[in-house]
Amino acid sequence: MKKLKTFFLDIIIFLTYFVSCSIVIICLPFIKSRKKVIIFGTSPILNIKYWSDALNQISIPSITLVKSYYSSINKKTDFDLYFEDLLPPVIKSRIIKEGLYPIFLWVYILKNAKTVVIPFHGIVIKKYFWKLEYFFLWVKNIKVIVLPYGSDAYMYSRVRSKSLQNVLISDYPNAAKLELQIRAKVFFWSKHADFVLTGLLMNDGLPRWDIAPHQFLSINTNVLEKKKEYSSSNGIKQEVKILHAPNHRSFKGSEFLFQAIDDLKKEGYNIKLILIERISNDQVLQLMKEVDILADQFIFSGYALNSIEGMAIGLPVLANLESETYLRVSRRYSFLNECPILSASPESLKDQLRLLITNPELRKELGKLGIKYTSKYHSYKAAQYMFTNIFKKLDGEDVDLMNLYHPLKSEYVKTNYIKTPLANNRYVE
């Protein structure tokens, strides 16, 4: 019975997309393109909000366009435009809305977009006819920038770290069943997009990047209240507070952190774990100012938004930056060697935690360096630097994007180079 329902649902989806795409194709000659706006979409992740805000600050018109938002961690006002905003308000039926989204969405994009910034899964057409999305953009000469965020690009069988593959399957099992679809879209957009940026470690099976792999996420560092006081506790009398904020515990390696903290408590250290899950981003940022250490993630070898926010506030951050298979390219050709995150794997986590707990001066030093690092590489100014260079390249200027962050060639990197007490993100006494 379930398979029969799925079969009929697929028929409905097929017919809906067929009709929608046919209408858009018929309308194409009559849609006058203004080519004014950079459109970020359509997955409701905070990254696109920050990038769009950064561009608007330097008078590059930009908006975010999404279908919905994650109410547990975001606010509706985080994003500018929702699919339903493009539909006539008299339409109330959810089924009718689903059928009409592609038509109204595409008419809006084709009329207004100069460039679209999308993940590998595309814009709105998830099944069947999805390649037509590129055709629509190509006909109107709208540029395509692809910036993946995770589930749109991970092809599990190509993940070189089997530990990472294991936690991905544990926390995001459906993506394993959709690998052929994901692979098809990754290779299609890798071929046809005007620009592809894979980011730090999003290179498992990805065939192309147009800037050497680096972490390209940005936040508004100017509005974040920085940590004012650093505890002098060494974990003997006064407690040391450790913050951990996993949305998915397996992916972050939370169980290894719990074990390390239990072991350290048995050794006599006065430490407190503050575990927060599925609360708003504003609450997370507030709590960061009240703790001593941010323990982020220990399986995936890299760092993302949580670590960036912690560094921007002034916290010392623990995360896994161990894998040279993944990271050596970012050390040689990008700015990872300036990063003040202290690396910890499940096996070294207890020792690295002990190092930070017993060394308040190191905590403060890494925290202060984190503020400098995020200001240089993860601020709105950093996003403006990256995107304006990409836009120049797309407009035909001779910009060497592959060496945009090369430590020996990039003036941006060489200026105010950040020296840390770390080598390959490990502490050197």
Q: If you write DSSP's letter for every residue of 247-278 in order, what string do you get?
A: SSHHHHTHHHHHHHHHHHHHTT--EEEEE--S
pLDDT value for 261: 97
Q: What is the dihedral of CA 402, 406, 410, 413, to 10 degrees?
A: 130
Find all residues with CB under 8 Å of 351, minimum gap 6, and list them.
none
d(CA 213, CA 203): 8
Terminal-to-terminal C-alpha distance of the chain: 65
pLDDT value for 330: 95
List of the chain residues with pLDDT < 50: none
The DSSP symbol for 225 reads P
Long-range contacts of 88-96 (CB under 8 A, 24+ apart): none
CB 149 within 8 A of CB 197: no
pLDDT value for 195: 97
pTM: 0.93
* Kind of pairing between the strands at 426-427 and 422-423: antiparallel
* Kind of pairing between the strands at 293-295 and 271-275: unpaired
- DSSP lists the bridge partners of residue 66 as 42, 82
d(CA 222, CA 216): 17
Find all residues with CB under 8 Å of 160, minimum gap 6, and list them.
204, 325, 326
pLDDT value for 374: 98
Q: How many CA atoms are closer than 13 Å to the CA of 225, on its beta-carbon side?
A: 11
pLDDT value for 254: 97
Burial of 361 (0-12, 13-18, 19+ CB in 10 A): exposed
CB 56 within 8 A of CB 384: no
Burial of 129 (0-12, 13-18, 19+ CB in 10 A): middle
d(CA 154, CA 156): 6
pLDDT value for 2: 65
d(CA 41, CA 149): 11
Residue 62 CB: number of other CB atoms within 10 A? 23
pLDDT value for 426: 96
